[in-house]
Amino acid sequence: MKRLIMIALITVTLLAMIGCVSGPPAFDAFEKDQGVVMPYLMFGDKTEGEHDSEAYLFDKPKPIAADSQGNIYVGGKKFLLTKYTSEGEFVKILAERGDEDGQINYVKGIACNSMDYVYATDSINKRINIFDAEGNWIRSFGEEGNGPGQFSDIGPICIDEDDNLYVSDDDNGVVVFDKDDNYIKSIGIKGDDEGQTSEFGWLATDDKLRQLYVAVDGLGKIDVYDMDTGELKFDMGGLGNGPGMWEEDIEGLAVGPWGLLFAMDEAGGNIKVFQGDGTFVTQWGKAGLYEGELASSESIAYDPKNRRIVVADEKNYRVQVFSLDALGF
């Protein structure tokens, strides 16, 4: 009798545990545009007087990133690399303009690794600058050229779960380095033929699907590469006015929860959402100047701690942060 009671208790406990575990939500193909969604947070301004620190006076914020604690890193023209808390409070300026160690001349890409080290490109000096979690410069690497591990036209970057660094270098494809800055390989060949990519832009990786996403700016599409073999598997999007298509330029990319890919439509002022197989799920936002609207935005990032999408709203001189919970993800 005691044995039967024990088995019954174990069965009930297991069923309760199973019931408490929720799987990923079901994402259907595109049904509706969510329109303008109010941001969870918005900070930055073009005019003086609103904030105590000049670091809030964005001069066209471009690349953006978020670390595991939700801290936000913004690259721009006036302040090359600046850190804010997840609530938009200014923390510090990591890098000034210049050619010396720890300085940056023009930043096109920012990414954070598993230790919250911050990687920032310098497209003029053809190098990658690395800062620790406290914002202190550690080292730089890179040199100009077209050989293995060299840079010609260095652009956006991303980092995978093994802390491998992927660098978009338009002439050399995507250049991959390990966590110790050693060159591993290059992915993709620039060109217009089958299996080639005409332009290498913003990047993102899906480690579960082993896919590297490459924004092909002028063609309004995303090329999808196998992270291991380097093979071009398929593309998604394209130029047009239909669901999942771009009016003009495709910009920032970010992989969020459930392997969803978030992609910035610069001209349309909206953020599009795809599944890893290219199925278009939804979009939100529109071009404009008001809260929740976007103007020539180039870069987005995923904040995993707070489940938010962070956007560098370039020509509105601000950062907007959207809650995925509010969007139904």
Domain holding 147: CATH number? 2.120.10.30
Q: pLDDT category, 13, cuts 50, 70, 90?
A: very low
Residue 253: inside a domain = yes
Query: Which tokens in the block code for residue 161?
Result: 């779960």
**How far apart are the C-alpha atoms of 202 and 232, rounded to whole Å?**
16
Residue-wise pLDDT tens digits, 255-314: 999 999 999 998 889 999 999 999 999 999 999 999 999 998 889 999 999 999 999 998
Q: Please state the pTM of the whole predicted model.
A: 0.89
Q: What is the extent of the structural domain holding 63?
A: 27-327
In a domain, 292, yes or no: yes
- Which amino acid is residue 305, in one-letter code? K
User: Is residue 99 exposed (0-12), middle (13-18) or buried (19+ Cβ within 10 Å)?
Assistant: exposed
* Predicted local distance difference test score (pLDDT) of residue 51: 47
The answer to the question of residue 133 being in a domain is: yes
Position 11 in a domain:
no
pLDDT 10s digits, 191-228: 889 888 999 999 999 999 999 999 998 888 999 999 99
In 217-314, DSSP assigns E strands to: 221-226, 232-237, 250-255, 261-265, 270-274, 280-284, 299-303, 308-313
190 in a structural domain: yes
In-domain check, residue 19: no
- Asked whether the beta carbons of 129 and 119 are under 8 A apart, the reply is yes
- Residue 179 belongs to a domain: yes
238: in domain:
yes
What is the residue type of 186? S
The pLDDT of residue 5 is above 90: no
Helix (H, G, I), strand (E, B) or coil at 23: coil
Split into its structural domains, the chain has a count of 1
pLDDT at 159: 98
Q: Count Cβ atoms below 10 Å from residue 242 Cβ, excluding itself.
A: 8
For residues 186 and 175, is the Cβ–Cβ distance under 8 A? Answer: yes
| CA dist., res. 275 & res. 247, Å (int) | 20
